[in-house]
Each structure stands twice: as C-alpha cells, then as structure tokens.
Structure 1
Amino acid sequence: MLDFIYYPVSFIMWVWHKVFGFVLGEDSGIAWVLSVVFLVFTLRLILYKPFVSQVRSMRKMQEMAPEMQKLRKKYANDRQKLATEMQKLQQQNGANPIMGCLPILVQIPVFIGLFHVLREFKPGKTENYVFNAAENASFVDSDFFGSKLGAAIWPLQNTSSVTEVGGNLVSQWIVMVPLMIMAGIFTHVTARHSVARQQAQIAAGTAAANPQAEIMQKLMLYVFPIGVVVGAPFLPLAVLFYWVANNLWTLGQQWLVYRRIDAEEAEKEQKATESAKALAPRPGQKPIRKDEKGTAKDVREIADEPLDADAGSTGTAQGSDGASADGGSANGSTANGTKNGSSTNGAAKNGNGAGGKKPGAKPVQRRQGTKSKRGKRR
C-alpha cells in the first residue's frame, strides 16, 4: 500500500550500505548503522530548503499574530469573512502556513517507511524491497557490540525479538540504554532551542503570546522526550540510531539557519537606518523644499517671494512715491523709483516704500514733513 515510500527509503539505505560496506565489509554492523544514519542525513539535506521556508514562514506568522488577533475579534461572528481576511493578510506578508508544516509532514512517512523496512529484516526472507536475500541475511546476522539492529527487547507485532535473531538481551540493553538517554536529551534540547527563540520574540514584541502554542511547547519540552525513552524498548534498535541522528542534524541545522536569517534581518535594519540618515537633513543645514516648478529652494527664499505677478509693479509705484516724498529732483526720483520698483522688495533702498523696511529697522521720520504738519495744526 505504501510501497511508494518503502522503496525509496530502502533504496537510499541500500546505496549507503554499499558505500560503507565496501570500506568496512558487507556484514559489518557499523556499516549498517552508518547506512541508517546517512539515510537520515540524505533525507534532511533534501528537505533543507523547505526547512528554511518553514522558519521564515513561522517567523512571519509570529509577527502577524497581533493583526490576526484583531481580525479574530473583529469577525468573531463571521467565519467566512475571517478566513478571507486571514488569507489576504498572509498573502500581503508572504506567509504560508503549509510551508511551516511541510518538513514535519514529510518526516512522518519517512519514519514509518524506515520502521517498516527494518522490521522486515527477518531470518529466511528472500527479499526486503530493494535488498536481496544475501543482504537480508547480512543485516540479520550482523551485530553492533553484541546487539541486533533489527530486533526489539519487547517487540510489537511483526517485529523480531532479540532471542529470535540470536541476540543477547544484556548486550541489547547495554547498547540501547545510552541511545535511549541520548534520544530523550536531544529531543528536549531541540525543542528547548525552538521554544527559547519564540519566547525571545514574544519578549521583544515581534510576536504575540498564544495559549495553544504554550501548550504545544510544553508537550515538545517534556512529553515527547519522555515518550521516546519509554517507547525505545518496543522499537528496533536501528530506529534509535535514526532518532539520535535526526535530532543531531536538527540541532546543527537550526543553529545554522537561525544564524543566517538573523544576520539577514540585521543587515536589512542597518540598510534601512543608513538610508534614513542619508535622507535626513544634516545638522545646521537650511531646510529645503521644492516650489511649484519643482526647483529646490530655501524655505526662507520661498517665503520672501511675491504672491502674484503684480507685486513688482506695485513695488515700482511705491518706490517712485517714496522718492518724490524726499523732495529730490525729478530725475533722481525717477531713477530711484525705477531701480527700487524693479527689485523684488520694492523701494527697499529708499526705505519709504511699503515693502522697503528691513526686519528690525527703525522707521525714519522726515523733519520737513513733521514741521509742515505742526504748522497746519497751529
């Protein structure tokens, strides 16, 4: 029924056994152990890119947790609308929940396939998927420090017992107990590494706390490691080698991938900070903005410009009036008025035009004008 899983698993194991059997001997127990270990490494190497996608997707989902919580509250009574908005949010952020579960989902059938292939190594069998009769006998007769790789101390249905394949229970326990402990410890350490990162993200505010996730974290930290230790005597010994090798690979892969992703995010933040500094005005620099024509000018220059096109002519008229009030000659008044009227500020040099006063300058009083006014009052 699951031959599409059993044949590929057995083929990868067969290839590695040929490689290590050529060096160590076809019947060597170490060659068979290494074939199981490198079966794990091969499969995990194939799943490396999906694992990276899983980590990225999980991080994005954690960052989206506050927004998702808001959507759940907003559309609590409309599940269809909630699903639609959740999908939009995930698409906008490039998150894919399926990619987060893919590596784990793929490893489950691999484990089932390996367990099935290992328990099919039995005395007298003529074939075991890719393995022929001689290779089947080689696996059954081989031992690893006196233990049998395909046998279990308390065998389940269709699993060979230690005595059935000619093994020794004491040697089986001696090899199995350290592997049980290692499998439990590595499972706990792998889970703790993932949980610690999630808690750090929650503390930093980049992820929101989730009660369901906390329950799952406790299961990963304690229940799964205990389950591995308790279930070890019921499994073929080679399965424990698979489990230990798988957890060792996971630890190294997590360290490598998380370090790489953290470095990428730190580089992005640094580039964003540098670009923000480059766009910001330097200390003491005049504020610059663009006028209607798109020309960059000083803000103070734009504020001093006339509001309309008639401002220049008004300045000319004011400049000529100011010059005539001085009592000067006609030629002088014309020259001064023309000169001051053509400028942006009107009669700025005479000081008598409406726009000619400099900021902070005191008004100049005309003595003759003052006397004439007093004379009129008298």
Structure 2
Amino acid sequence: MDYIYTAISWMLLRWHSVWDAVLPDGRVLGTDWSWILAVVFLVITVRVILFPIFVKQIKSQRAMQALQPKIKELQAKHKGDRESMQKELMELYRSEKANPLMGCLPMFLQIPVFLSLFHVLKRVRPGRTEEAKTLYGWTADQFDSAAHAKLFNAPLPAHFTSKADQLADLGGSGVTVKIVAGVLVAIMIATTFMTSRQMILKTGWSEDPQQRMIQKLMLYGIPFSLLISGGLFPIGVVIYWVTTNLFSLGQQFWVLRKYPPPKMAAATGTSYKEMSERSGSAASRNAAAKPGPKNPFGLGSGSRSRNENKTSPNGKPNLNKGKKAEEGAPPSTETRAPRPGAKPARNKKGGPARRQSSG
C-alpha cells in the first residue's frame, strides 16, 4: 500500500503548493484554505481519472436494465435449477456484452484512495520524528504545516471522538472540534443518502429481490453505518467524503440526462409513491369485491322484482296493487277428494239449480 500512500500524498502536496502560491498567507476565518482546497481538488483529480470507467459503468447498467425481460424469462424457465440458469445467464451476458460486476468497479477503485487519505491524515500530527515526517514524499515543513492546518479553528487531523490530550497536541478546542466535525458528519450522511436516492428516484426500485435489497442497503445501510463510524474519521477525511458526494450528485445528474435509463426499465421500476398507491388501490379493490350480506329470507331476483312491483312511486309499499292482483286472480279449481263413506256435499244457496227427480 506504500505506493498508493505515496501517490495520494503527491497529488495532495501538488495541489497544496498551487493554492499556497495563489492564496494569501495566514488563516482566513480560522481556516487554512490552501489545505482545504488541496483536499477538494484531490477529489476532483481522482474523479476525473475515474470518469471513463464511470461512463463504462453507466453503459453496463443500462445494458443490464435492457436485459431484465430476458433474465426474467430464464429465471422462470429454469426455476429450481440454479446451475442451468447461471450457465444461460453467463451466455446471455457474453452475447450482449454486459458485465454485472462493472457497476461496482468505480466504487471499489475509490476505496484505496479513501483508505490512503485516511492513513496519511491520521499520521499527520505534531511530535513525530523527522524520519516519520518525510515518509511518502513529504518534507518536514509540509508535514508541520498540515499538522497545524485548521478548518474554522478545528485541526484537520482531529475527529469527533478525539481525546483531550490529542487535542492539546493539535492545538484545538474540544467544543470547536465537536461542532465542526459533527456538522461535517451530518452533511456527509445527508449527501450519501441523497446520492443513492437520486438514482433510485430516476430508475425506480428494481423488480429483482436481490437488486432491491442492494438498493435498500445503499440507501439506508451505508448512511446508518456512517452515523456510527463517522466520528472516527479525521476532519480532513470527512471533507474528502463530502466533496466526493457533492461531485457524485452533479455527475449523476449529468449522466441521467445524457444516458437516461431504458423506458422498459423505468416502466418496471417502482417508486415509494407508486408502491403506496398500488397497495392502497389493491385494498380498495379487495373491499369492492367483497360480497355483501346474504338475503336472510332467501329471496331470489324474482322475489325482489315482485316486491318492487308493490312499491309506489313515492317509495311506500303499494298495498292496493297487491290486493287488486289477488282479486283478479282466477278461482282455484282444486277440490278435495271425498272421504270413503261420506255423504255427497249439497250445493249452497245461490248455486246451480238442483235437478228435478223424475217421477
């Protein structure tokens, strides 16, 4: 790792020399701006070097998004046969020249830069030997200048959890360091969240469960981990991280306009708002499809139509209409069979005349 430490130190010292020649001597607002700008332009230099790789990453991501329908077909075709599915997926990636690992490459390449700057700034503190001061291409004067550099009177090598004896060596106040470091860590967490959210809002949530889990990890997991570990980072490293996030926000804004996601991927992606609207509409459909209470009297549609006929235009039951219907009905022709041995029934008065018996 020494060669990486030397390369990062060389870029940092070159930018410090440039700004030290441009800016006036002394601190302004309790800040050594030549060192602050050296860290900022170290970020810009690294990101410009990695920009071609970043473009390849975006193109690879767009190719993967365009392949999602074919990937889903293979997953459905080889459901339960993971080995066959992996073989066909690799063949598909090879034929379409898509690399699923390309999306992580720029992030992995920035990790050594971050760790190198963390190591370099952590060792920059007063009281070091002359031999230690001249490691990684530094001179003793550059080392002493960086060890006493401050941002709003907070030493750059200090961090939120620095102890009193460490702050005494650096010439810093505990309250000042906690305020400056705390504000920077909060900005670092917020910009890290915004960087992930910006991409998800444009491309939507992935339909693939594994990809969606990675998106959630990037959106929530990394900011939460920074909430715990951010207090251990030197202020100079936090400045580097915040600058990286701000650069990423601008770079992603340009990329999303230059290389918009495929319409198919944007259509299948699901945002927070769409997810809530879908769940709400599904609940409404379920409520609408739920059957109503059954007719307690077991009446069918025919019974309802007869009851509706007995209702007057003003909504009250039409009893007269029911009576008229009963009066107009033909008399029943049903007769009971006579019991054995019973006398024949005589006709009542007003009935048909009896037949005269002959003789």
SS at match of 2:67: helix
Alignment-derived partner of residue 143 in structure 1: 150
| Equivalent of 1:195 in 188, 193, 200 | 200
In structure 2, list runs of 5 or more residues that go unmatched: 264-359
Residue 197 of structure 2 aligns with an amino acid whose one-letter code is R
Q: 1:228 Cα deviation (Å)?
A: 2.1
Alignment-derived partner of residue 336 in structure 1: none
> Against the structure 1 CA distance between its residues 150 and 44, is the aligned structure 2 distance closer, same or farther, given a 3 Å change threshold?
same
| Equivalent of 1:99 in 97, 102, 108 | 102
Residue 7 of structure 1 aligns with an amino acid whose one-letter code is T
Residue 150 of structure 1 aligns with an amino acid whose one-letter code is P
Residue 95 of structure 2 aligns with an amino acid whose one-letter code is Q
Q: Distance in 2 between matches of 1:172 and 1:49?
A: 38
Q: 1:155 Cα deviation (Å)?
A: 4.5
Residue 136 of structure 2 aligns with an amino acid whose one-letter code is Y
Q: Distance in 2 between matches of 1:162 and 1:221?
A: 34
Q: Distance in 1 between matches of 2:13 and 2:248?
A: 23
| Equivalent of 2:177 in 172, 179, 182 | 172
Alignment-derived partner of residue 13 in structure 1: 12
Q: 1:106 Cα deviation (Å)?
A: 0.1
SS at match of 1:124: coil
TM-score of the pair, normalised by structure 1: 0.62
SS at match of 1:153: coil
Residues 356-367 of structure 1: matches in 2 within 5 Å?
none
> Against the structure 1 CA distance between its residues 172 and 260, is the aligned structure 2 distance closer, same or farther, given a 3 Å change threshold?
same
Q: Distance in 1 between matches of 2:248 and 2:137?
A: 28
Q: 1:234 Cα deviation (Å)?
A: 1.3
In structure 1, list runs of 5 or more residues that go unmatched: 203-207, 267-378
Q: 1:166 Cα deviation (Å)?
A: 1.8
Residues 270-285 of structure 1: matches in 2 within 5 Å?
none
Residue 184 of structure 2 aligns with an amino acid whose one-letter code is L
Q: Report if aligned partners of 2:153, 2:172 keep a CA contact under 8 Å in 1.
A: yes
Q: Distance in 2 between matches of 1:57 and 1:132?
A: 43
Residues 1-378 of structure 1: matches in 2 within 5 Å?
2-24=1-23, 29-76=32-79, 79-125=82-128, 126-155=133-162, 161-199=166-204, 209-262=207-260
Q: Distance in 1 between matches of 2:167 and 2:199?
A: 37
Residue 4 of structure 2 aligns with an amino acid whose one-letter code is I
1:126-166 CA-to-partner distances (Å, cap 9, x unmatched) read 3241211111111112222110001123249xxx9323312
SS at match of 1:262: coil
Q: Distance in 2 between matches of 1:34 and 1:100?
A: 30
Q: Distance in 2 between matches of 1:73 and 1:163?
A: 64
Q: Distance in 2 between matches of 1:58 and 1:229?
A: 29
Q: Report if aligned partners of 2:160, 2:181 keep a CA contact under 8 Å in 1.
A: no
Residue 151 of structure 1 aligns with an amino acid whose one-letter code is A
Q: How many residues align?
A: 254
Residue 152 of structure 1 aligns with an amino acid whose one-letter code is H
Residue 225 of structure 2 aligns with an amino acid whose one-letter code is G
Q: 1:229 Cα deviation (Å)?
A: 3.2
Q: 1:79 Cα deviation (Å)?
A: 4.9
Q: 1:217 Cα deviation (Å)?
A: 2.0
Q: Report if aligned partners of 1:57, 1:96 keep a CA contact under 8 Å in 2.
A: yes
1:317-372 CA-to-partner distances (Å, cap 9, x unmatched) read xxxxxxxxxxxxxxxxxxxxxxxxxxxxxxxxxxxxxxxxxxxxxxxxxxxxxxxx
Q: 1:70 Cα deviation (Å)?
A: 2.5
Identity %: 36
SS at match of 1:47: helix
Q: Distance in 1 between matches of 2:4 and 2:190?
A: 29
Q: Distance in 1 between matches of 2:162 and 2:81?
A: 51
Residue 170 of structure 2 aligns with an amino acid whose one-letter code is V
Q: Report if aligned partners of 2:9, 2:136 keep a CA contact under 8 Å in 1.
A: yes
1:76-102 CA-to-partner distances (Å, cap 9, x unmatched) read 565554333222211232212232221
Q: 1:22 Cα deviation (Å)?
A: 1.0
Q: Report if aligned partners of 2:160, 2:182 keep a CA contact under 8 Å in 1.
A: no
Q: Report if aligned partners of 1:154, 1:161 keep a CA contact under 8 Å in 2.
A: no
Q: Distance in 1 between matches of 2:118 and 2:26?
A: 21
Q: Report if aligned partners of 2:159, 2:234 keep a CA contact under 8 Å in 1.
A: yes
1:282-333 CA-to-partner distances (Å, cap 9, x unmatched) read xxxxxxxxxxxxxxxxxxxxxxxxxxxxxxxxxxxxxxxxxxxxxxxxxxxx
1:220-241 CA-to-partner distances (Å, cap 9, x unmatched) read 2223223223322211011110
Q: Bigger relative contact order, structure 1 or 2, given CA contacts below 8 A and separation 6+?
A: 2
Alignment-derived partner of residue 308 in structure 2: none
> Against the structure 1 CA distance between its residues 220 and 80, is the aligned structure 2 distance closer, same or farther, given a 3 Å change threshold?
closer
Residue 153 of structure 2 aligns with an amino acid whose one-letter code is G
State the superposition RMSD in angstroms: 2.4
SS at match of 1:162: helix
Q: Distance in 1 between matches of 2:181 and 2:251?
A: 26
